[in-house]
Structure 1
Amino acid sequence: MIIKEVISYLEDLAPLAYAEDFDNVGLLVGDKNTEVSGVLVTLDTLETVVDEAIEKGCNLIVSFHPIIFKGLKSLTGKNYVERTVLKAIKNNIAIYAIHTALDNALRGVNDIICNTLGLVNKSILIPQKGTIKKLTTYVPVKNANALRTELFKAGAGNIGNYDHCSFNTEGTGTYRGNDDSNPTIGTKGQLHEEPEIQISVTFNKHIETKLLQTLVAHHPYEEVAFEVTSLDNYNQNIGIGMLGELKKEQETYTFLKFIKEKMKVSCIRHSEISKSTIKKVAVLGGSGSFAIAAAKRAGADVLITADLKYHDFFSAENDIILADIGHYESEQFTKNFLVDYLSKKITNFAVVLSTTNTNPVKYL
């Protein structure tokens, strides 16, 4: 198996099209056509992690956070980023980062937190805009069923819990081919009228190339008429943060102790205890101050996140309890999840969980 085949599994789980614009995801170091000897999964890629990969015979590191975040203007080893990248290159080790692509995935970072806490009735907290598109095309009536089937196979027509969704309108198409045309129906140089069906299907933006290739490959016409439009609809399966509920309401201090136990944290920074019990829980792994307003609008009793600043806690305004559990702590189970996921997909070489603790924050 080569690196790009491993990448294809990762991008089935978390398509890079849904990563945040500021992020740097994908293959950061290495050649995607290199044969894989082993995969080491980590939260962060540091020099010590590259050393671990060398020791364990892994030439691909799958990292949650990207080691290269901003553009590198030199590679002289003057800081930890450059030293890590240099060591990886010298030892022919590739580095792939998944970061906010997995943050925004339905089965991603925030779903992992929800599952760890046993939350039910889960939904995306901040759905991502601009990720749903619509394809409209026109096809002879006799070819409509076959074309629709191929479009569905390619991933179009999925809406929430439903698939094979389309809208179809019958009408008459007209066209006239020039001297260079080779019409499959009709005669060039002559105006032709054909009973057609207009097919409209929605799709997630990351499959656009595949869907258009399918359309052209299975459409009977020499020239395929189609339209692709971007929709403003929220995508209920793509977005940052999650909302869930406890199976049974808990007293607030009991719940905070429950978080410490389940998330394996030594301390929680929290806002004033303004609610006596907790039922509805919002979570956002990593830096999540931007989600406070969304969590309040959703009626959450608590927002579990990280990296809250002093003034962020004021914005709770007794409407919600803010619980900062630490950046590393909120994302720590991500690497376990990725190891389990890849191990089920790959059986011909080792997928190894990194044992290097990359948390830069220490507690006394």
Structure 2
Amino acid sequence: MNPVKTRVAIVGSTGYGGVELIRFLHQHPEVEITSVISASSSGKPMSAQFPHLIGVMDMELDGVDAAKTAQKADIVFLATPSGVSSKLVPQYLEAGLKVIDLSGDYRIKDSSTYEEWYKHDAPDAASLEEAVYGLCELKGNDVQGKRLISNPGCYPTATLLGLLPGVEAGWLATDSIIIDAKSGVSGAGRGTSLTSHYAEMNENFKAYKVNKHQHIPEIEQVLGAAAGKPVTVTFTTHLVPMTRGIMSTMYGSTAGNHSEEEWIELYREYYRDRPFVRIRKQGQWPSTKEVAGSNYCDIGFALDARTGRITIIAVIDNLVKGAAGQAIQNMNRMMGWAEHTGLNMLPVYP
């Protein structure tokens, strides 16, 4: 007899984050996908939206209806735009579902800060208070048994994993942090726009939302909690002509006299029991290709004794560790399963 599996539904299944959830959940031993949901494509087969799923996921797309979803599923993933999730989450919670939200709606705890940066009304106070920020390497124990998890953003995931050990140890001067981050165009979503137009993006490299990116307050919120004081950062994002990947290159002044080898050892100890963070040896720096298609975050270092600054380089796949993979990691923690369950895929290389 087959063991009873946990039933999962995915809202926003026709986006890149949603279809990446399908790729990993399809081979997860503890769950069964029982509903794929799209407000714009309900009634159509999933494989019509993504022909690579023919014969694998021919399920018909459901419409957005919390009561009907609760009849089919135990957990719902929301791979929806910011401003949409906050309207849906209370409905799914009331229907008795556990919720993992991949949008930005529940990451910022201060409502006025959220509204300033996201330009949407903040979520209702009760669900915002209940939401747990799900950066597993920092908050993994906090999500177990909870029913609403806010999945971190893709840029913040790479950036925070690269900065947190140094900030918590007091080795990094928090008033000196500069973050130079680059993303592939899949981070802009599947919808067409001038930003992701081939002729605009090919053989091009451009900065965007300079000093105005909505992930800034998320990064500062988590770093401030780790430092025990407010932290401000300079954060610049760039689009590069590749499909997947984020590289976050971080610069900061060092506090104390620690060697590069000591920095590496600090990070190795911090992430010792975390299966998806890999710390590079001295003189080795990661590239986005080396984590593509996987849930890994790879981190490398370069200490400049001349300037007293440390350079930290962190790479992830924005659709996996930056979205779907981390959401499944959070589900595993939520349900009390081993953190790596269903996520042990090697990077796709070359």
Q: Which has the larger radius of gyration?
A: 1
> Structure 1 or 2: larger strand share?
1
Tell me which of the two structures has the higher relative contact order, counting C-alpha pairs closer than 8 angstroms and 6 or more residues apart: 1
TM-score after normalising by structure 2: 0.31
